[in-house]
Amino acid sequence: MATTGTIAEGAKLNMQVTPGEIQCNKCGKITTISFKETDALTGLLLFKCKFCDSTDTKIIKGKSATVKNIKIETD
C-alpha cells in the first residue's frame, strides 16, 4: 500500500472477497463467479455461462464493497 509517510503508515488491510453472480442473456440462468489474481492481470473480464458457454452475460451481484470496521489506535 502507498502509506509511507502518512497517518496510515503501518496499517493493515484485511479483505474478504465473496463470489459474484452473472446472468446469461442467452439462456437466462444465473452462474456464480469468482476472481483469481491472474484475472486482474489479463484485463479480460469475460464471464462465461456455466450452462450454455455464452459470454453474453451481465453482472448481477458482486460489484460493491462494504467497509465493516475501521479501528484507529493512537499512542
Decide if pLDDT at 27 tops 90.
yes
Which amino acid would we find at residue 56? Answer: D
pLDDT at 39: 57
pLDDT at 38: 54
Collapsing DSSP states into helix, strand and coil, what is residue 38?
helix
Query: Could you give the domains of the chain?
Result: 20-61 (2.20.28)
Pick the more confident residue, 18 or 55.
Answer: 55
Q: Do 26 and 52 touch, CB atoms closer than 8 A? A: yes
CB contact burial 27-48 (16+ within 10 A = b; e otherwise): eeeebebeeeeeeeeeeeeebe
